[in-house]
A = this chain, B = another copy of it.
Amino acid sequence: MSLYGARVEYALHTLVNLSRVPDGVLPSARDLADFQKLPVAFTRKILSQLERAGIVAGTEGAGGGWRLGRHASEITVLDVVDATQESQPLFECREVRARCALWDDGEPPGPAVTGVCSIHAVMLGAEAAMRGELSKHTLADIGATVARKSSRDALRTTAAWFTERTTQRRSTS
């Protein structure tokens, strides 16, 4: 299994899309899910988690919806990862070193068990490197990369799709 599953992937895609929505337009969870063909109920759950972390802000009631909680350039991938999967360690130390046949007779081993387990320390270093890399990239960066790859037309169409969706909602009600 991978450390970061569909939750993170859905969250990031949803956020990148959300960062492309024009100001004043509030897409609903259904809008955001439909745009990328994600399961609606699951997307709602993810948005709730992101709201708890302040990454998005939701307004309730009819005509309500979601917008980014702060500017896309101030939301890192690490923020999103931490928000969706709270405290997912790369490695969970079980303190195996404490269970050694040598000191079976009850006496605690002394300095061998103090501090961080040497194996754990390596893993913590790797985790720090990974998180450091994730914190270097923001939603704005990813958005820019996508924009560079796709046609100017596609970007405009995306914005138009969301505006149409939300206004359509309001008119039919």
Contacts and interface: CB of A to CB of B under 8 A. Distances in A.
A34 interface: yes
Contact of A129 (B3, B96, B130): B130
A154 B102 CA distance: 8
A96 B125 CA distance: 31
Interface string A1-19: 1111110111011001000
A13 B96 contact: yes
Contact of A89 (B2, B93, B127, B133): B2
A22 interface: no
A154 B112 contact: yes
Given A2-B91, A119-B142, A149-B111, A37 B101 contact: yes
